[in-house]
Amino acid sequence: MVEVVIASGKGGVGKSTISSSISALLSHKNIGIVDADAEAPNLHLIFDTNSWEEEIEYKEKSVAAIDYEKCVNCSICQEVCTYEAVENRNGLPHIKEYICEGCGACKVVCPVDAVRITKNNLSGWIRVGRTRYGPFVTSELDVGQPNSGKLVTEEKNIAKKWVREGKIKHIIVDSAAGIGCQVIASMSGATYALLVAEPTESSLSDLRRVFYLAEHFRTKSFIIINKENMNLGFNGIMKFSEENDLEIIGKIPYDKTVAASMTHKMPLVEYDGNSPASRSIKEIASFLEDLMP
């Protein structure tokens, strides 16, 4: 099995555009697709996926609850809560569940043992469906909920189960932006990481961060420069690739067709396979195909 994660240190650099087109181009390699951005999933929009074979409630969040028969309204729980999740309502402490992290500090300090920590509260949803390119799993974190990394891990576990069952052979993961818990979960266990960057100083700074994360997981990395013709005088990414022995496997030009493909809910290479960006993505897909037995 080959697991390819498309990542970047910042949002808006074209990860989903590249992920969706690579998935379309490599569908013959028997792939499964994971949208690993639980806070802002969008691959289902590009794939125009409107129905799901399975929708799973993900229950992981822990929150505090108060037993008012025991509570003596001492307000110690409110004083100790660093998340400001406890407020006084009608003379009694009240837990704001959408803020509470379930850390248990209030339970520890309560002098009358009136606080308990409840688990298995709804954190979000995992949705399983099919696209023309292979089985697809995505997720959505409920508003204000934690544990997005665990949600992504559950998504990947579903895809790995497909591999064990012989339904797919390889996995394409469209990561979230940044280097937070979702990206850590995406990167963990990946075979290759495609690191997408734009030719700017800020994007280079973010590229460094996500590369060091990939290095931590010993994931072989490659660089893709998107909108490479937008700042022709910038050579920082080239220098970074040389200093770290990183191969640049694609340089994608700015292409107005990308926006049009999004509005038509189609991967770019299907909407217009001859556009400048499509031709570059096809070269990247060809490179990946040689890595997939």
Q: Which of 32, 28, 34, 27 is nearest to 6 (CA)?
A: 34
Q: Between 146 and 106, name the one with better pLDDT.
A: 106
Q: Return the pLDDT at 146.
A: 65
Parts of the chain belonging to CATH 3.30.70.20: 61-122
Parts of the chain belonging to CATH 3.40.50.300: 3-47+132-289
Chain segment 18-74, per-residue pLDDT in tens: 999 999 999 999 999 999 999 999 999 999 998 999 999 988 778 999 999 999 999
What letter would DSSP give residue 126?
Answer: E
Q: Return the pLDDT at 61.
A: 78
If one counts every other C-beta atom within 10 angstroms of the C-beta of residue 24, the result is 24
Residues facing 140 on adjacent strands: 125
Q: What is the pTM of this model?
A: 0.85
- Report the CATH number of the 61-122 domain: 3.30.70.20
The highest-level CATH class for domain 3-47+132-289 is alpha beta
Unique residue bearing structure tokens 């110690």? 76
Chain segment 176-231, per-residue pLDDT in tens: 999 999 999 999 999 999 999 999 999 999 999 999 999 999 999 999 999 999 99
Euclidean distance between CA atoms 267 and 20, whole angstroms: 5
β 134-141/31-36 pair status = parallel
Q: Between 149 and 248, name the one with better pLDDT.
A: 248
Euclidean distance between CA atoms 234 and 208, whole angstroms: 16
Q: Return the pLDDT at 158.
A: 97
Euclidean distance between CA atoms 166 and 238, whole angstroms: 40
Q: Return the pLDDT at 147.
A: 65
